[in-house]
Amino acid sequence: MMRLLKPHLLLLFWLPAWAGAQTDSSALADVQLFLETGSFSWTEDRITEAGRPYLPFAFAQESEVVEVLIKPAFPQAITGLAFLPGADMVLLDSLIQLDSATFRTRLRLDKLTRNDGLALTFQVALRQGDTVNTLIPLFPYTETQTSTAPQDYVLYLGEETIIPIQALQPANIRPQPVWQKTPQVAYRLTIQNGQVQLHLIPLSYGTHRLSIPYRTFRPRRDSLSGRFLFNHTIAPFEIEVKRGKVPFLDLGVEELYLTQGARYAAKEISMEQKLALNVRQTYRIEDQERSGGNFIGELYVREIESSGKMRAQLRAYDVHRRNEGPLYIKSSDGAIFVTNFSVIPAPTIEEVYVRRAGGEWTKDLFVMPGDSFDLRVDGQSLHALPLTLKGFAPADSQQARDRFVATGFFLPANHKARSLVVMADGQPTPYQIPVREYARPRAMDFVSVRVQSRRFVYTTLPARQRVYGSLSDIEVLFDRDMIEKAGDLYGPQHLEVSISLWDAEGRQLEEEKSTQIIILPGEASPRHGRYQVSDAFEGTLSLKSLLNMPLDELPGWARIRVRIAHQNRVYPEGGQDKEVEFVLARKVYLAAEVSFPMAIIMNRFGSGSEVLNSLNFGAFLQMGLYRDQLIRQPTSIRLHLGVLSTDVLPFRGDGMRDLGVATFMSILPLDATQRWNIPIYLGGGYLTQAKTGFFFMGPGVSMTF
């Protein structure tokens, strides 16, 4: 017996803890991924990175089709399971239940090398009525093999050469916008139209075997240690560096910036001592070896340092780019050294653009919490300008060109700053990107009304709601925790609530009164405490406070019209708008009646039946019931109590005039709401003169007051 109770006791203690966890993976026993690269299990393959669990999986392409099997921890405790696709996920097959303990779906994962924060989110519906969001963080990894074409590479000292790189996963390679140096070469990696390119500048003569290091966005898994590694190297290859006609001189300078309006750009340098260069002498720098080249700058040798190196000043007067060819240091119009460096305008920011998810580049600078976006800066000499936003690092690689720099970011949903400062080379710029809150109309299932101590979800009420008994107030309540959750932001909800009073005949008792309120999301929202709204409404809204007439003084069948809608000025695209009419209904119908029964068949007790062929008169109090779901529509069956005078106007000489007390039932063949009617009576009573009881039945004419 105890063995049978143990699973149920475990389930009893586990359910409340599970329902309170929004991203707890304990709701699932296992999640399995099936790709072309293999199968991966949450229970068997899970890893921990930076203190957080992940489900690793290998991928071979930027987009992969994945079959997912989900196994709940306690299948008997759930009533349903839903998959919530994230960014760059496309659901291919609907989530179906294979058996009592297994669910299956199929989806496509896109941008695997750049999609940070990749996770599978499931919403589990519990039998106790709660739902829980379960998050399975994913950790993609892949093999990124790189090599050069099998050929002889002959390079010349100081000249930049671009070598195409064959890559298995080119999108996974992090570009290197800044030059790196080894004793043999200076190098950097770029990606142009999906092609990886290795830029090389030889720094020494001879044959060199190179193994160029680089980093990737997604790691590879070491087959021996099982560790995930982001560092890679291009497969070793050899280059042969030859001397040109003129020896190369390394000035240790890659770029000089010409500031607009300045006469020249200057930089103090230290270089190897050369016998061909004399101290305190200026040498001309041109862009061609033969005479008559364009004047680019000057090299002024100041002195010989104690270390044996030469200290000099390099001055640049005109623009030159390294890929346009080498530069020549000349003495008496003859080239004595070849060198190369870039002289470019100083980095200048001219325009700033943002591109929000699914949109185009725009100058309308704003971003939304919880969204990914791209930032682009246009200007001059931006190819090596580190671009970021104050407070966090880019989430994507930086695409750098001479005329623009673009990079991707992710703004966390709980980010505090009201604006993001654009930083260039670590310094703030005049440009700021405001953080704009969401202003989307949320379905009004978070709004409920309380009537006579009963609470109704407002959107589930019919257009007309009957209320029985007295009504002192109608209260509007708000479940603020339903407004927003992680990944589903709406912003503060701007609502308009109005109420008006009408009588049973449709006459207005009090004109419409309305109020506009702002409801902030509750603590379940990642933006809780971030919204800057000073006049937000707190608590419960009492509608009687808007009225002059007390609700408990309204007559029967009066109508209270309540309308709750999103404000049009805040949501021009339209929101929800619903009006509910509360009717103060009655169950029992009471009225006074004067009737004229005719051709009544009467049976006096102890006597036979006879027809009273005369005009009879009666005064009664009648009672009936109102029809359900109809307004002021009594049923056609009534009960009567009153007095009946027989043979008031006899149609024959032998009348039997008498006065009786009667109770009876009537059936109205005509519309029961009319004052005049032709009822059919059935009942009995007591005749005061004949001192006997009687039973009667027959038609008549009645008038109701």
**Residue 470 banded pLDDT, cuts 50, 70, 90:** confident
Query: Across residues 235-262, what is the average pLDDT?
Result: 86
Query: Across residues 587-600, what is the average pLDDT?
Result: 69
What is the rounded CA–CA span in Å between residue 256 and residue 253?
8
pLDDT at res. 213 = 95
Q: Report the range of poorest mean pLDDT among 257-261, 325-329, 435-439.
A: 257-261
The rounded percent of the chain whose pLDDT value lies above 90 is 41
CA distance to 209, 356, 428, per residue, from 417 (Å): 50, 18, 15
Query: Across residues 343-362, what is the average pLDDT?
Result: 89
Please list the residues that pair with 214 across neighbouring strands: 232
CATH of domain 446-585: 2.60.40
What is the rounded CA–CA span in Å between residue 673 and residue 244?
114
Q: Report the range of poorest mean pLDDT among 154-168, 237-251, 460-474, 653-667.
A: 653-667
Closest CA to 73 of 35, 117, 33, 103: 103
pLDDT at res. 615 = 66
Burial class (CB in 10 A: 0-12, 13-18, 19+), 668: buried
Query: Across residues 511-519, what is the average pLDDT?
Result: 93
User: What would the DSSP string read from start to end of 160-229?
Assistant: -EEEEEEESSGGGBPP--S-EE-SSEEEEEEEETTEEEEEEEE-S-EEEEE--EEEEEEEEE-TTT--EE
Six-digit token string for 650:
């006899």
What is the rounded CA–CA span in Å between residue 221 and residue 390?
33
pLDDT at res. 649 = 62
Six-digit token string for 591:
């009225």
Query: Across residues 189-216, what is the average pLDDT?
Result: 90
Query: Across residues 195-199, what is the average pLDDT?
Result: 94
- For the cut 50, the answer to whether the pLDDT of residue 73 exceeds it is yes
Where would I find the beta strands (DSSP E) of 357-403?
372-380, 387-389, 399-400
pLDDT at res. 217 = 92
pLDDT at res. 675 = 67
**Residue 4 banded pLDDT, cuts 50, 70, 90:** very low
Please list the residues that pair with 134 across neighbouring strands: 122
Measure the CA angle with vertex 310, ends 304 and 311; round to 5°. 95
What is the rounded CA–CA span in Å between residue 369 and residue 359?
16
- For the cut 80, the answer to whether the pLDDT of residue 632 exceeds it is no
pLDDT at res. 674 = 63
Give 146-152 contacts, CB < 8 A, sequence gap 24+. Answer: 146/173, 146/196, 146/214, 146/232, 146/234, 146/235, 147/234, 147/235, 147/237, 148/198, 148/234, 148/235, 148/237, 152/240
**Residue 473 banded pLDDT, cuts 50, 70, 90:** very high
pLDDT at res. 138 = 93
pLDDT at res. 1 = 38
Hey, what CATH class is 348-434 in? mainly beta
**DSSP tag of 374:** E
Query: Across residues 126-138, what is the average pLDDT?
Result: 84
Query: Across residues 363-387, what is the average pLDDT?
Result: 87
pLDDT at res. 642 = 77
Higher-confidence residue: 98 or 2? 98
pLDDT at res. 656 = 66
pLDDT at res. 15 = 46
Closest CA to 284 of 237, 333, 238: 333
C-alpha torsion angle, residues 382, 383, 386, 390 (rounded to 10): 40
* CATH architecture of the domain with range 146-242: Sandwich (2.60)
pLDDT at res. 654 = 52
**Residue 592 banded pLDDT, cuts 50, 70, 90:** confident
What is the rounded CA–CA span in Å between residue 299 and residue 576?
74
- For the cut 50, the answer to whether the pLDDT of residue 419 exceeds it is yes
- For the cut 50, the answer to whether the pLDDT of residue 6 exceeds it is no
Query: Across residues 355-366, what is the average pLDDT?
Result: 90
What is the rounded CA–CA span in Å between residue 524 and residue 406?
34
pLDDT at res. 447 = 95
What is the rounded CA–CA span in Å between residue 138 and residue 616?
92
Task: Reduce the DSSP state of residue 75 to 3 states and report it.
Answer: helix
Q: Report the range of poorest mean pLDDT among 75-84, 346-355, 490-499, 607-616.
A: 607-616
Alpha carbons within 13 angstroms on the beta-carbon side of residue 683 total 24
Residues 211/198, Cβ–Cβ less than 8 Å: no
pLDDT digit string (tens) for 266-322?
A: 999 999 988 678 899 999 999 998 888 999 999 999 999 999 899 999 999 999 988
Q: Report the range of poorest mean pLDDT among 49-53, 69-73, 316-320, 700-704.
A: 700-704
Q: What value does the mean pLDDT of the chain take?
A: 84
Q: Report the range of poorest mean pLDDT among 357-361, 405-409, 419-423, 610-614.
A: 610-614
Higher-confidence residue: 339 or 685? 339
**Residue 397 banded pLDDT, cuts 50, 70, 90:** low
pLDDT digit string (tens) for 79-127?
A: 888 888 887 889 999 999 898 889 999 999 998 988 888 899 988 888 7
Query: Across residues 215-238, what is the average pLDDT?
Result: 92
**Residue 133 banded pLDDT, cuts 50, 70, 90:** confident
**Residue 702 banded pLDDT, cuts 50, 70, 90:** low
**DSSP tag of 114:** T
Domain boundaries, the chain: 2-141, 146-242, 255-345, 348-434, 446-585, 588-704
Query: Across residues 322-343, what is the average pLDDT?
Result: 88
Query: Across residues 642-660, what is the average pLDDT?
Result: 67
Closest CA to 585 of 614, 560, 610, 565: 560
- For the cut 80, the answer to whether the pLDDT of residue 354 exceeds it is yes
What is the rounded CA–CA span in Å between residue 490 and residue 678?
62
What is the rounded CA–CA span in Å between residue 367 and residue 436?
6
Evaluate whether 146-242 and 348-434 have a shared fold. yes
Residue 13 has phi, psi (to 5 degrees) of -80, -25
Query: Across residues 673-699, what is the average pLDDT?
Result: 76
- For the cut 60, the answer to whether the pLDDT of residue 3 exceeds it is no
**Residue 609 banded pLDDT, cuts 50, 70, 90:** low
Query: Across residues 558-579, what is the average pLDDT?
Result: 92
Q: Write down the pTM of the prediction.
A: 0.53
Q: Report the range of poorest mean pLDDT among 15-19, 186-190, 234-238.
A: 15-19
